[in-house]
Structure 1
Amino acid sequence: MKIYQKFKTYLEEKKLWEVFIYLFFGGLATLVNIVTFQVAQQGFDLSWTVSNTISWVCSVLFAFVTNKLWVFHSKTESFTALTWEFAKFILARLLSFAMDMACMFLFIDILSTGNLIAKIVTQVVVVVANYFFSKLFIFKKVEIIEDEKPNSSPR
């Protein structure tokens, strides 16, 4: 645990901890995406488009939870705020899903690469885009300013 703490402290000093933890959970979301893509395509003999859509849904749900709780430490005060945050997340992910589908089409149907290779390459593009969408538009840090209370203790 001491090595972990030193590593985390070092990255925090360099302002790289958030990027590192995003890439860690982004890697896991990518793994969820690739595994569900392969299972849907190979196990259930679905087309790459249907398999890609299923894998997108699974990885987006996984990513929302991990991004909210462990990457950006987002706190929402109400169900409405949570719903709005989730809606923004889905809208941004729909944009990256369009990028994903376009890249997959390019690699599979135009360049005739293998489906798995296309999926892996495409995920790099998607992870980078999703980080910026999440950082800039979805999980914004809200600064809470506490009122200063006058010192009411007798002197």
Structure 2
Amino acid sequence: MKKYIYSLYIKYKEIINYLIVGVLTTIISLAVYYLCTITFLNPKNAFQLQLANVISWIVSVTFAYFTNRKYVFESKNPHIFKEASAFFLARVGTLLMDMGIMFLCVTLMGMNDKIAKLISQVVVIISNYIFSKLFVFKKGQNEK
């Protein structure tokens, strides 16, 4: 049984590790967002809602880059600045997606901001994996 589970892990290692890192990144993103909106930013104010979103994004994307590089995609790319730039640029796309979902759900539709943020995170996690796999951590092309 252990050998079977291990072989499944090896076969799906990247996806399993991405899900683990994604969950941790989501927890960090949500914790920072909630901390901002509970302590010093008002989510009923459209500008402050987006500011809380951006702060949580910066913290979580920084965490995500280093953990994805090491544990998920096992990048050996010596051009860390170039790779990190591509990672952050891809994440800007999902940040805009996140902001759009939050604006639509909270500002236009009046949905609870905490629930809207959870919905948004599901869309963002899936999109981030696709962008990372296809554009940032491409096997063979980034390594010397």
* TM-based fold match above 0.5: yes
Q: TM-score, normalised by structure 2?
A: 0.88
Structure 2 unaligned segments of length 5 or more: list them.
Answer: 43-47
Q: Is this contact kept in 2: 1:89–1:138, CA < 8 A?
A: yes
Q: Is this contact kept in 2: 1:8–1:17, CA < 8 A?
A: no
Show CA shifts across 1:36-66 (max 9, x none): 0000111113421110000000000000001
Q: Which amino acid aligns with 2:41?
A: D
- Aligned Cα root-mean-square deviation (Å): 1.6
Q: Does 1:111 align with 2:112?
A: no
Higher helix share: 2
Q: TM-score, normalised by structure 1?
A: 0.82
Q: Does 1:20 align with 2:16?
A: yes
Tell me the equivalent position of 1:97: 95
2:138 alignment partner, SS class: coil
Q: Which amino acid aligns with 2:49?
A: W
Tell me the equivalent position of 1:150: none
Give identity over the alignment, percent.
36
**Who wins on radius of gyration, i.e. which is larger?**
1
* 1:76 CA displacement: 2.0
Flag as ranges the 4+ runs of structure 1 deviating above 6 A: none
Show CA shifts across 1:129-154 (max 9, x none): 000000010011117xxxxxxxxxxx
1:53 alignment partner, SS class: helix
* 1:74 CA displacement: 0.2
